[in-house]
């Protein structure tokens, strides 16, 4: 069903031919990380989307659901596996195990502190290394790169939006939705990132996500400060909270046209 949705998404946007995913290796400090890359046929240069995964151990199927959508719409999609995840599972500790251990020993507040520490240091370093590698690919237009992500990847996206630099737009799917009510520390850090955003941000969630507070509250702060953004809460996706939380991976046939319009405007 999820693969069928991806195919439908390509038909809806009037897809251009897209190659199968290529797996590449890129350095992050002393680590050698893997990424999956989708690109349209041709030499380019094409605009690109750096797409960040969440905290699950392996995101290959999720990437395979959304990668052809962006590739078919004329964008390179670069999907890195951060340290300890998926194809980079042998490159450092898996963040889920680290956070579970901290939670068991010291509680939820310590878990939140460790999550932010890892996401702002080691995992942000991996994201930045992926961006640097992506911008040097010969078929990528280095001046037209956006960042996107789901869940923890949405947090990574907001941290990148806060810095601006070499990305020009951000799409945050469900960033911090699993932690919004239970972690004031993570909630305030994401609000701060929204207040400091240097590029346009599109905040997207399904109504049946764990919490829609991230999109609503960050958007309210950005509106108060006059910062460029969009926010949309879509109808429930699937039947469960988990389905709603995975909307950014599997809902491209629903959010695709609006995200592409946002990217066209931001990257023109």
- pLDDT tens per residue, range 118-129: 999 999 999 999
Give the pLDDT confidence of 230-248 residue by residue, as tens digits: 999 999 999 999 999 999 9
Concatenated DSSP letters of 205-268: EETTSS-SHHHHHHHHHHHHHT--EEEEEESP-SSSHHHHHTHHHH-HHHHHHHHHHHHHHHH-
Where does the pLDDT of residue 6 fall: very low under 50, low under 70, confident under 90, or very high at 90 and above?
Answer: very low
- Cα–Cα distance between 112 and 119 in angstroms, integer? 10
Quickly state the pLDDT bin for 13 (edges 50, 70, 90). Answer: very low
Q: What is the pLDDT of residue 17?
A: 60
Altogether, the residues listed in the chain come to a count of 268
What is the tens place of the pLDDT at every residue in 142-162?
999 999 999 999 999 999 999
Neighbours of 204 (CB within 10 A): 27
Query: What's the whole-number mean pLDDT along residues 80-89?
Result: 94
Mean pLDDT over 48-55 rounds to: 96
pLDDT band at 165 (very low <50, low <70, confident <90, very high): confident
Sequence-distant (6+) residues with CB within 8 A of 49 are 70, 75, 76, 77, 78, 145, 146, 147, 148, 171, 263
* 0.85 surpassed by pTM: yes
For position 20, what pLDDT does the model report?
Answer: 80
What's residue 14's pLDDT? 47
d(CA 63, CA 36): 8
For the residues 7-22, what does the mean pLDDT come to? 58
Domains (ranges, CATH) in the chain?
Answer: 2-267 (3.40.50.1820)
pLDDT of residue 7: 45
Tokens of 156: 């990574």
Counting runs of H as helices and runs of E as strands, what totals does the chain give?
A: 11, 8
Q: Which two tokens stand for residue 171?
A: 């799409």
Residue-level pLDDT at 117: 93
């Amino acid at each position: 069903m999820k693969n069928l949705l991806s195919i439908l998404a390509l038909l809806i946007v009037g897809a251009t031919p897209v190659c199968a995913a290529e797996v590449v290796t890129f350095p992050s400090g002393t680590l050698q990380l893997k990424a999956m890359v989708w690109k349209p046929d041709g030499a380019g240069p094409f605009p690109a989307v750096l797409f960040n995964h969440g905290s699950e151990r392996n995101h290959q199927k999720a990437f395979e659901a959304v990668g052809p959508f962006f590739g078919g719409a004329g964008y390179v999609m670069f999907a890195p596996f951060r340290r300890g995840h998926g194809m980079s599972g042998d490159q450092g500790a898996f963040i889920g195990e680290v956070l579970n251990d901290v939670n068991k020993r010291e509680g939820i507040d310590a878990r939140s502190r460790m999550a932010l520490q890892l996401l702002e240091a080691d995992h942000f370093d991996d994201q930045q290394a992926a961006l640097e590698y992506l911008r040097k690919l010969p078929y990528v237009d280095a001046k037209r790169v956006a960042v996107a992500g789901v869940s923890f990847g949405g947090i990574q996206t907001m941290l990148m939006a806060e810095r601006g630099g070499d990305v020009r737009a951000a799409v945050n799917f469900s960033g911090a939705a699993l932690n919004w009510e239970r972690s004031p520390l993570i909630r305030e850090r994401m609000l701060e990132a929204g207040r400091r955003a240097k590029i346009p941000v599109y905040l997207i969630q399904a109504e049946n996500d764990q919490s829609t507070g991230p999109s609503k509250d960050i958007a309210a702060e950005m509106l108060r400060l006059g910062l460029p953004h969009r926010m949309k809460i879509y109808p429930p996706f699937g039947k469960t909270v988990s389905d709603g939380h995975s909307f950014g991976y599997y809902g491209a046939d629903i959010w695709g046209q609006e995200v592409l319009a946002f990217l066209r405007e931001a990257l023109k």
